[in-house]
Chains A and B, each alone.
Chain A
Amino acid sequence: MQTKNPPIKRIKLSFLERLYLPEIFKGMAYTFAQMFKPKFTMSYPEVKWKPKPVFRGRPVLVERADKTGERCVACGLCARVCPPLAISMQANETELPQERHPITFEINMLRCIYCGYCEEVCPEEAIVMSDEYDITYHTRQKAIMDKQQLLVPMEKVQARLDFLREYKNAVRNAAEQAVGEDAKK
C-alpha cells in the first residue's frame, strides 16, 4: 500500500537546483546545441540505405555459373530447418550435371522471418540471403514467390557469397581475425 511518506531517503537539492530556472535553461541549451549537429535521419525512399554483405535480406536461389539453371539439388534441408515453414519444394531429375533439381520452389514471404537458417544448412550454396529489404505485395498470393522470382544470377549475390566464405564457413582458416589488444600479446 502506498503512502504519502514512504520510508526513503530524500534527495537534498542545493539552492540553485531548487530554483526551476537554471534547470530549464540547461535543458534548452542542450536541445539548442542539437540543432547544429549533423542530420541523423535519411530521406527514405529518395535516399536508399545500402546494406552490407552481412545483412540478411530476402532469400534467393543462386543461378549456376554457366547460367543453365539453379544450383539447388532439392535436398529439402532448407524446407526442413525453416522455423516458420515458409519453404516448399518438389524435386525432379534433370539433365544438368547436378542430376536433381526442384521443379517447383516456393517461399512464402509472409512467413519468412529472415533468420538465415536456409542459407546456413544448404550444402550447395544454392540459397543465400540477398540485400533486398523493401519487399511489398498487393495481394497475399503475390507474396508466395516461385522459382523464377527467386532465381538471381551469381554476380548479384557475390558479395554475400564472399562474406559467407570468410566469416561463416571457414573462420578457422582466416588469418585476419579481429582480436583485442590484450589477446595479441
Chain B
Amino acid sequence: MKHEVELIDGVESLAKPKLDTATRFEKRKKIYQALEDRDTTVLVDDDDPLESTMVLNMGPSHPATHGVLRIALKLDGETIVAAVPELGYLHRAMEKLAENKTYHEWMPYSDRLDYMSPYSNNTALCLAVEKLGDFKVPERAQYIRTIACEIARISSHLLSIGSMLMDSGAVTIFLYTFQEREEIYDVFDMLTGARFTVSHCRIGGVASDISQECVDFIKNWLKEFKKKLSDWRKLVDRNRIFIERLEGVGYISKEDAIAIGLTGPNLRASGVAYDIRRAEPYMIYDRFEFNTPVLENGDCYSRYLIRMLEMEESVKIIEQALKQLPKGDVRIDNAKQAYAWKGEIYHSMEALIHDFMMTHEGLQLPKGEIYHAIEAPKGELGFYIQSDGSGFPWRLKIRSPSFCNLQALPQMVEGGMISDVVVVIGSLDPVMGEADK
C-alpha cells in the first residue's frame, strides 16, 4: 500500500509547474464539488422537458457524405432540429506545407485539394503565382489550360450528378456517368500523362504540348458525350419520381445564399448570376461565347439541373477552344520565369545554371501579396499568396469553395426530414479534400 502512494507522488512530481499543497488541496476540492454537483443536478432543456429529441452521428465514414464529413444531427422523430457539420478529418496541413516548398514544388499538392477536378486547382495556383510575378503566358498554353479546365469541370459535375442521383435512388445513372468519367480520364492520360493527379500545369505554361491524337480524341468524345448528355436529360429531368424527391428540398433563398457565401453552381441555382469566368474573366474566357445558366428556385432540383446546363456550356467552350487553338510555345521562353527548354539545357551552360537555380532557389518573385480566384467546378477557388521575395511563399491561403459551401448545410437541412440530408449533401457537392485542406 505504501509503495503505491509513493508511486503516485512520484508521478505528480513530474507535473509542471509544481503546485504547493494548499493550492492542490483547493483544486481537488473544486473537482470533488463539481463531481458531486453533477450527480445531484438534473439538467432540463427548457424547450424539451421530456427529452424527445435524439442525437444522431452521421459520418465521418458514411457512404453518402462524400468523404469524411461528420454531421451531428439532433432529431425530433424524423425531423431535424439542428445539424452541426464537423470538418477536419482529412486535414493535411496543405497551407503549412506550402510554406516549406517552392511554388513549383508545391504544385502537385494542389492536385489533392479538389481531387475531382485536379486541373482546375493546378491552374488556380499557377495563375495566382503568375499574377504576382506579372508573367505573360503564351496563348497556346492558355488554350490548353482552358480546355483541360473545362473537361475537369465536366468530370466533376458528372460525379456530382451521378452520386446525387444515386443518393436519391437512381443507381443506374451513376454507372453511366462513371463510364463517361473513364473516358475523361483517358483524355487526361493522353494530354497530361496521368489519369487522376495530373500535375500538368506549370508556372509559366504547361508541362507538355497537346498532341494531334489527343485533339482528335477529345473531338470524338465530345460528339458522343453531347448525345449521351441529352439522353440523360430526357431520362431524368422530367421524371416525376425524381422531381418529387428533390423539388423544394434543401431550399436556400437568394439573400441567404449571398450572406453565407455560396459560390459556383450552388449560388447560381439560387438565382444569383455570378460566374467569375464572366464577372472578371481570367485567362481567355472573354473570347468564348457561352451562357451562365441561372435558376431561381434554390432547391436540390435546381442544383441538379444547373450542373447539367453547365456541362452543356462547357462543351461549347471546349469546342470553340479546340477550333481557335493557336500555334506556338507552351511555356514562357524566359529562364527567370519558367524552366528553360531541355534542348537548351543539354547544350548551353547558361540554361543549365538556370535549371539548377530554379530547382534549388525556386522562383524569384517580387515582395507582395496577391489574391487570384478562378471559377472551379465547385465555386470560387482562390489562392492568397504573401511573398517575402524568396522562392517560398511566406503564407499561402486557400479559399476553397467546398469549405464555404458547407456552411449552408445546417440551414438547408434544419426543419427538413432526415432522409433529405443525403440528397442535400449530394446537391451541395462538397469534396472533403478541399474543405479540410
Contact = CB atoms under 8 A, between A and B. Distances in A.
Interface of A: 1-11, 13, 17-18, 20, 23, 26-27, 30-31, 40, 51-52, 54-56, 75, 77, 80-81, 83, 113-117, 120-121, 123, 125, 129, 164-165, 167-174, 176-183
**Chain B interface residue number, banded:** 35 or more
B108 A113 contact: yes
Contact of A169 (B197, B231, B250, B342): B342
Contacts of A113: 108, 197, 199
A40 B179 contact: yes
B86 interface: no
Contacts of A9: 296-297
Contacts of B189: 51-52, 54-55
A177 B327 CA distance: 7
| Majority SS at the chain A contact face | loop
Nearest to A14: B238
Interface stretch (B15-23, B52-60, B203-211): B203-211
A83 B106 contact: yes
A172 to B, nearest CB: 6
Interface string B61-97: 0000000000000000000000000000000000000
A117 B103 CA distance: 13
A5 B235 CA distance: 26
19 contacts: A2-B420, A3-B415, A8-B296, A8-B297, A8-B298, A11-B238, A13-B238, A13-B240, A54-B193, A77-B359, A114-B197, A167-B208, A167-B209, A168-B207, A168-B342, A169-B341, A171-B341, A172-B333, A180-B326
A11 B214 contact: no
Contact of B324 (A23, A164, A180): A180
A93 B339 CA distance: 28
Given A1-B415, A120-B207, 11 more contacts: A2-B420, A3-B251, A20-B241, A51-B189, A75-B356, A77-B359, A81-B105, A113-B197, A168-B209, A174-B209, A180-B322
B323 A23 contact: no
B436 interface: no
Interface string B213-229: 01100000000000000
B243 A11 contact: yes
A56 B191 CA distance: 11
A113 B355 CA distance: 22
A178 B324 contact: no
Given A6-B299, A164-B342, A171-B209, A183 B325 contact: yes
B315 interface: no
Interface string B228-266: 000100110011110100011111010000000000000
